[in-house]
Amino acid sequence: MEISASLVVGICCVFLSSLIEVEAYNQNIHSLRVIVSENQPYRTAFHFQPPQNWLNGPMYYGGVYHLFYQYNPYGAVFGNRMIWAHSISYDLINWIHLNHAIEPTEPFDINSCWSGSVTILPGNRPVILYTGVDANNHQVQNLATPKNLSDPFLREWVKFSKNPIMTPPNGIKVNEFRDPTTAWKGLDGKWRVIIGSELNNHGIAILYQSEDFVSWTKYQHPLYISEETGMWECPDFYPVSINSTNGVDTSVQNPSVKHVMKASFNSHDYYTLGNYDSQMERFISESDFTGTSLDLRYDYGKFYASKTFFDNVKNRRILWGWVNESDSTEDDIGKGWSGLQSIPRRVWLDKSGKQLLQWPVEEIETLRDSQVSIHGKKLLSGAVFELSGITAAQADVEVFFEVPEPEEAEFMDPTGVDPQLFCGKENASGNGRLGPFGLLTLASKDLTEQTAIFFRVFRGPSRYIVLMCSDQSRSSLRKEVDKTTFGAFVDIDPRLEKISLRSLIDHSIVESYGGEGRTCITNRVYPMLASDEGMHLYLFNNGSSSVLISRLDAWSMKKAKINGKESLRYRAT
């Protein structure tokens, strides 16, 4: 794994037949090796983070939620002895830390236990496939199973005695063979799994098959090859329903689904839609990856190495993503921790069939506290309006904008336009006809610091164009932090529907969902003045035309219980 990579690992669920109480924090974990600063202005309140040190990506499968995640027990930076840490939850929001699940102990993983996934075998038997870095620093794939299936918390795992079960094949570099996906079962009864790799500078999904989940054979050709990208990390492959917002099991193969092929490269998570030809063992994409802004992404900000799972309890597919830091390694060491997880997102196919939609899981709404609402307020040109009555550092904000006169919009030909570059050039302080308008989050009282989430509306050659931007250029007075401005188009017609924005604000992270989840942007920012009680939240309009806030609802957010020492009780579902 490269230092930029995060490895997505599995979560598992079991059904409990009675109330069970578990001690929330085990005393023999290794995380006490690093002293954590008491002053933590950037520590989040309702996003999952490890108690300390370095973290990256998780995955999940339903019931009691087990979050296995990449973790460095020895420091707040990427290390050479990565392990699988383990936390459990009943609601995806509040988490208990357990003992580590998998640690480097054997020749086949002695130099790190990297990413992997969980698959449920017949008989409700969870198994883990994970990448180990062996004694020769080769990346190999290993198998682990629960020591005690009657333990609903799956606290102990046993490595297969004949590991590794997959090694780098001929033509594949030994350090470019990693991140096995959740396996799916074909109509012939064989299991399939893909591994991320690179061949001749092309990203590939290497396909393996097995009848018993122990002996694996590489298929004669990859499931998919991307000629325009390099090494693939953390691939994901799963079906989505064409006619429903419900999720479906990973093994579903029929005409009522499309398949999603996702890969992590170039610091982002890209996906393409298409059809899975199970007879030819090929994924036939509707649009190939280009390695440019034309590609579909889960998120156009700080979001990487994500993984989905099918939650069969609520019939939904959930997406987890790793949000890494934007400050320096020295800052991470000073804080004593690095990285966090996005809020879990439900994901489904848009009615157009052209893209996925994403929305925070409904459980996050249990943290909502005091509320303010606005209806029918006009934002005049140049307006800056403070939203008071909620905690600006910890908030859930949902707002719907109306554009009364869309014909006033400026003209734009989107051909060849990179929306991120355009947002960087025409930032929140610019003046268009329709926009910029939106939110100023994590802002100081005098607006010296602010992270703007905003829209601009244009007339195109054949349709209206809505641009969503996230301007970090004034996010902090600190000079050493990343202040990239992110941007993407939102596929909506402002004449026919309102322009919606939902932002989850949590001290140093802002997750924003534009157009009812069509476009998502995550920011990681580190203000100096706008900290805790000094944070403010504003609505603004820098366009020359007025816009209407048809509806706004905002809530202060309570703090979640993340890896605390209290006990939680779990009941049967």
Residue 546 CB-density burial (10 A; 0-12 exposed, 13-18 middle, 19+ buried): middle
How many helices (H) and strands (E) in the chain?
Answer: 2, 40
Mean pLDDT of 353-381: 98
Dihedral pair phi/psi, residue 531, rounded to 5°: -130, 130
pLDDT at 530: 80
Residue 177 CB-density burial (10 A; 0-12 exposed, 13-18 middle, 19+ buried): buried
* Chain segment 82-133, per-residue pLDDT in tens: 899 999 898 999 999 989 999 999 999 999 999 999 998 998 899 999 999 9
Q: 531 is written with which tokens?
A: 């900290």
Average pLDDT, the chain: 88
pLDDT at 65: 87
* Chain segment 476-516, per-residue pLDDT in tens: 999 889 999 999 999 999 999 999 999 999 999 999 999 99
pLDDT above 60 for 569 = no
Closest CA to 112 of 59, 58, 71: 71
Start-to-end CA span in the chain (Å) = 38
Residue 357 CB-density burial (10 A; 0-12 exposed, 13-18 middle, 19+ buried): buried
Given the structure tokens 């591994």, which residue do they identify?
A: 195
Closest CA to 183 of 240, 237, 102: 237
pLDDT at 565: 53
Mean pLDDT of 371-385: 98
Task: Say whether 328 sits in a helix, a strand or coil.
Answer: coil
C-beta of residue 70 within 8 angstroms of C-beta of residue 82: yes
| C-alpha 108: how far from chain center | 29
* Chain segment 27-65, per-residue pLDDT in tens: 343 433 444 455 577 889 999 987 644 444 454 544 678
CA–CA separation, 158 and 147 (whole Å): 6
Backbone angle region of 535, left / alpha / beta, with phi > 0 → left and psi within -120 to 50 → alpha: beta
Closest CA to 326 of 522, 500, 68, 529: 522
Residues 283-295 as b or e (16 or more Cβ within 10 Å = b)? bebeeebebebeb
CA–CA separation, 79 and 95 (whole Å): 24
CA–CA separation, 334 and 40 (whole Å): 10
**Tell me, what amino acid is at 404?**
P
C-beta of residue 454 within 8 angstroms of C-beta of residue 432: no
Please count the other Cβ atoms lying within 10 Å of the Cβ belonging to residue 298.
25
CA–CA separation, 341 and 128 (whole Å): 21
Domains and CATH numbers, the chain: 20-237+320-343 (2.115.10.20), 372-557 (2.60.120.560)
C-beta of residue 494 within 8 angstroms of C-beta of residue 457: yes
pLDDT at 564: 64
Residue 275 CB-density burial (10 A; 0-12 exposed, 13-18 middle, 19+ buried): middle
* Whole-structure pTM value: 0.92
CA–CA separation, 53 and 77 (whole Å): 7
Closest CA to 355 of 295, 266, 422, 310: 295
Given the structure tokens 């578990």, which residue do they identify?
A: 22
CA–CA separation, 460 and 237 (whole Å): 34
For 150-154, 377-381, 387-391, 552-556, which range has the lowest pLDDT when averaged over its residues? 150-154
* Chain segment 399-437, per-residue pLDDT in tens: 999 999 999 999 999 998 999 999 999 899 999 999 999
Closest CA to 453 of 475, 429, 471, 435: 471
